[in-house]
Amino acid sequence: MTPQAQLPPLRRGSSFTFRTPGPQWDFSLKRKRREKEDDAVSLCSFDFKEPSTKRVRPLGRVTSLANLISPVKNGAVRRFGQTLQASFRGDGRSPNVLQQKACSKAAAPTPPKRRNSTLWSETLDVHQKGTFSTKEIKRQEAIFELSRGEQDLIEDLQLARKAYHDPMLKLSIMSEEELTAIFGDLDAYIPLHEDLLAQLAKATGPDGTVGEIGQIVVNWLPRLNAYRAYCSNQLAAKALLDQKKQDPRVQDFLQRCLESPFSRKLDLWSFLDIPRSRLVKYPLLLREVLRHTPPEHPDTASLEQAVSIIQGVLSDINMKKGESECQYYIDKLEYLDDRQRDPRIEQCKSLLCHGELRNKSGTKLHVFLFTEVLVLTRPVTRNERPCFQVYRQPIPVQDLVVDDLQDGDVRMGGSFRGAFSTADRAKNIFRVRFQDTAQGQSHTLQVNDVFHKQQWLNCLRTAMSVYQSEAPTDASSKRRSSTASTIIHMEETDENQPQSAASAPSSPRSEQPPSPTPSK
């Protein structure tokens, strides 16, 4: 028998052909070599005969779970399929990481909604633009901006009600009393602006131009006095809103609204402050219309009258807002001693200036300059509500002396090491004290920069000029010219006197510059 006839029969597999091993074959070495030469051989390449009672789907028919997903145009599903394919490649990367990357791309935030910024001239065709002069086009642009601003304001007021007020009330995130204190009567102002918008639309001609608006705004502007109560309550509303933001439910709701497209990346307070910011724009808008109105136009006299009316309305609203702000801070004062109570504080109707400062020992103080008295306080918290603990004795403005100190005249910090060091020389400092040193101690105060220091000095000197401009005393001028060392020694003996224990001061708001009389 020939050697070829003694070879075992051939049998074909799914991937390659091999001979059935017989007793004379040593297959172990060849198998090891094959594993070294090609480690990528898959079990799918072998045909194993399973028992007939077991149902098994052939592995060769499904190479990837991604093949089970039909091809669609949806990007999220396509990325999901790609993730599954990558997870079966064995490239060393974790499938969970790939899935997180794909999900993060699919959950990209929706772009915010934008306002329509179309100009009036862009609504005209080429032939219409040629019929108007450049000055008339600018006049119509200013009128169109006034009209479009009213429409935007109406939409924002409606949005504040539907997207914030009503959901928080329905979900019991805030009580009805708290929402009323924060939102006020926003719904009552919507018809006010709708009326002006309707009158402007009625005065618009077929060609899109508005002939006369002077008399319309003259009759409408006095109705803006309805905002006096709303603007006067803004300080208390802002404080209550900041307090409620400590609630996780409120914070989560407001954050979800902020990330939604309708918010235009504006928080709730931005929507609540829109009416006030709209009020201060009316003089600018009316002046812009007047600037592009010819002197012989019938609107010239009416527009000048309208500018005067809106200035009076804003002045009245500003005065009421200042009185409300002054009373708000007076109610927040907390006295450690009845001797600190000054009847002039309760009689004040205006707050000239206030802000966070530091004294010589580095303590954070919130200083209030009322029309008749200067009050230094420490910010504290009582029952989760911020208040201001009166620090030392308030100084009446008529007895007040202000010393402008040069940089480096005083060492700040109050430490023993600072007494022998030159590194702690203070900058941007000034001193306030009584004219009669027997009435109380002096206070060395430090501000952030030169600008804030000059602003404080101007406010203090303006308040003092009401009482001291007629008869300045020689003694006060001598005190101003006294040496810095004498004043420093006097302050050290006064400010180190023992006093009642106070609560730890709250976080300062030193980034807010102290503002003189409340701005519009």
Tally Cβ neighbours within 10 Å of residue 14. 10
Q: What is the pLDDT of residue 209?
A: 83
Among 511, 234, 517, CA closest to 353: 517
Angstrom distance (rounded) from CA 5 to CA 223: 116
Angstrom distance (rounded) from CA 177 to CA 99: 46
Three-state SS for 258? helix
Task: Determine which of 84-88, 180-184, 240-244 has the lowest per-residue pLDDT on average.
Answer: 84-88
Distances (CA, A) of 458 to 149, 370, 427, 428, 452: 37, 14, 18, 14, 10
Q: Is the Cβ–Cβ distance between 139 and 288 less than 8 Å?
A: no
Confidence of residue 38 (pLDDT cuts 50, 70, 90): very low
Angstrom distance (rounded) from CA 443 to CA 429: 10
Q: Which percentage of the chain shows pLDDT scores above 90?
A: 42
Pair type for strands 17-19 and 10-12: antiparallel
* Domains annotated on the chain, with CATH: 116-331 (1.20.900.10), 334-415+423-469 (2.30.29.30)
One-letter identity of residue 111: P
130: left (phi over 0), alpha (psi -120 to 50) or beta: alpha
pLDDT at 278 over 90: yes
Burial environment of residue 433 by CB neighbours within 10 A (0 to 12, 13 to 18, 19 or more): buried
Angstrom distance (rounded) from CA 283 to CA 286: 5
Beta bridge partners of 357: 365
What does pLDDT average to over the chain? 74
pLDDT at 395 over 60: yes
Q: Which of 18-22, 343-347, 470-474 has the highest mean pLDDT?
A: 343-347
pLDDT at 501 over 80: no
Angstrom distance (rounded) from CA 441 to CA 498: 13
- Pick the more confident residue, 102 or 206: 206
Question: Which strand (E) or helix (H) includes residue 159?
Answer: helix 134-159
Confidence of residue 33 (pLDDT cuts 50, 70, 90): very low
Compute the average pLDDT of residues 340-361. 90
Q: At what angle do helices 299-331 and 234-244 cross, to 10 degrees?
A: 50
Angstrom distance (rounded) from CA 325 to CA 334: 17
- Which phi and psi angles does 218 have, rounded to 5°? -60, -40
- Pick the more confident residue, 366 or 109: 366
Which string of DSSP letters, residue by residue, matches 217-231?
A: HHHHGGGGGGGHHHH
Angstrom distance (rounded) from CA 70 to CA 81: 10
Compute the average pLDDT of residues 415-441. 71
Q: Is the Cβ–Cβ distance between 434 and 400 less than 8 Å?
A: yes
Compute the average pLDDT of residues 208-214. 86
Instruction: Spell out the residues 6+ positions from residue 452 whose beta carbon is closer than 8 angstroms to its own.
Output: 355, 428, 513, 514
Q: What is the pLDDT of residue 114?
A: 60
- Pick the more confident residue, 408 or 57: 408
Tokens of 46: 């072998």
Instruction: Spell out the residues 6+ positions from residue 18 whose beta carbon is closer than 8 angstroms to its own.
Output: 11
pLDDT at 505 over 90: no
Angstrom distance (rounded) from CA 458 to CA 455: 5
Q: What is the pLDDT of residue 10?
A: 53
Q: Which of 21-25, 29-33, 464-468, 497-501 has the highest mean pLDDT?
A: 464-468
